[in-house]
Amino acid sequence: MIRSVIRAERLTKVYAGSRGILDLTLAVEPGEVFGFLGPNGAGKTTTIRLVLDFIRPTSGKVQVFGLDPRRDGVAIRRRTGYVPGDLRLDERLTPRELCAYFSHLRGGRGGAEVEGLAARLDLELDRPIRALSRGNRQKVGLVQAFMHRPDLLVLDEPTAGLDPLVQQSFYELVREVTAQGKTVFLSSHVLSEVQHVADRVALIREGRLALVESVETLRARAFTRVQATFAEPPPPDAFARVPGIRELELHGRTAAFAVEGEIDPLVKVLGRFRVLALESHEADLEDVFLDLYRPEARNAP
């Protein structure tokens, strides 16, 4: 039987005077990219710190590689690469020196990979870290996480500060390591980032797990955004009986729709008017995410 790489059961962390996470249960399987989504303060970083035994749970339990993070922390860290959301580096060193230090801690593993990773991420290895921009410091964090080819990568907001070209290189690295059977736990509040690479996604809301689904299932649940600009403002009730419309905003000559299912009924009604411009975009994780975080969803039992 294949063992989950990360397994949490009713994991709870309560801080004095503030909420952490409550009754979180999930499993991350070998070879997948597991996206962990939520706004700042939802509980993403708390979950990661519990997984890596930086903090201890109030109740519940978590296992990594079937091991107890508290008892077997050294064995787990040997097989894990980690980029924290609040990345801090020794500014006295160069990236090359820092990576050599990490290689030494890992028994000499990963040193041969540093040059290639730095080239792919466009990182200069011999400038002092104190002279690097935020984006280049983030690249250092990524190099040290990937360099020893870990079985598990735990990445907390990994593309913060990176330009779009480097982000693409990061996505390629993630796809390559999962093709080798490695596992990636990717925590982010950037929906497009997770949508690029994730196989499954968990949404955490106010410390509680809202759902865990495949990306394809979530896309199927989402709706299509359509915006139309008319030559003349349409009547306020022109679209009242169109099936599938979940949201409608009319602003003069512009109408914005959120449509569930096929958009053909809407297109036929739009054909009754003179339409100057029509835009639509496919359903994506942002639609699902915003739908879950709307006031009605927050108040739902």
* Parallel/antiparallel/unpaired status of strands 33-37 and 183-188: parallel
- Listed range (110-114, 146-150, 195-199, 219-223) with the worst mean pLDDT: 219-223
The whole-angstrom separation of Cα 120 and Cα 113 is: 11
Looking at residue 301, what is its pLDDT? 40
* Average pLDDT over every residue of 60-86: 95
The per-residue pLDDT for range 6-50, each reduced to its tens digit, is: 999 999 999 887 778 999 999 999 999 999 988 888 899 999 999
Where do the H-state alpha helices sit in the chain? Answer: 44-51, 73-78, 95-105, 114-121, 134-146, 164-179, 191-197, 215-221, 264-270, 285-293, 295-299
**Which residue ranges form the domains of the chain, and what is each CATH number?**
6-215 (3.40.50.300), 223-282 (3.30.70.260)
Query: What distance in Å separates the CA atoms of residue 6 and residue 152, rounded to the nearest whole number?
Result: 9
pLDDT band at 225 (very low <50, low <70, confident <90, very high): confident
d(Cα 1, Cα 240) in Å, to the nearest integer? 54
More confident residue, 134 or 38: 134
How much is the pLDDT for 196?
81
pLDDT score recorded for residue 191: 76
pLDDT at 169: 96
pLDDT tens digit sequence for 102-115: 999 888 899 999 99
Mean pLDDT value of segment 153-174:
94
**pLDDT tier at 285, thresholds 50, 70, 90:** low
Mean pLDDT, rounded, for 268-286 = 86
**Which of 105, 95, 194 has its CA nearest to residue 143?**
95
% of the chain with per-residue pLDDT over 70: 92
The CB density around residue 226, as the number of other CB atoms within 10 Å, is: 19
Q: Which of 229, 176, 206, 167 has the alpha carbon at shortest distance from 292?
A: 206
Model pLDDT, residue 297: 46
- Mean pLDDT, all residues of the chain: 90
Q: Per-residue pLDDT for 131 more than 60?
A: yes
The angle, 0 to 180 degrees and rounded to 10, between the axes of the packed helices 114-121 and 164-179 is: 140
- Residue environment code for 92-129, b if the CB has 16+ CB neighbours within 10 A, otherwise e: ebbbbebbeebbeebeebbbebbeebbebbebebeeeb
Is residue 261 predicted with pLDDT exceeding 50?
yes
pLDDT at res. 298: 47
Reported confidence tier of residue 299, pLDDT bands at 50, 70, 90: very low
In DSSP terms, 28 is beta-bridged to 6
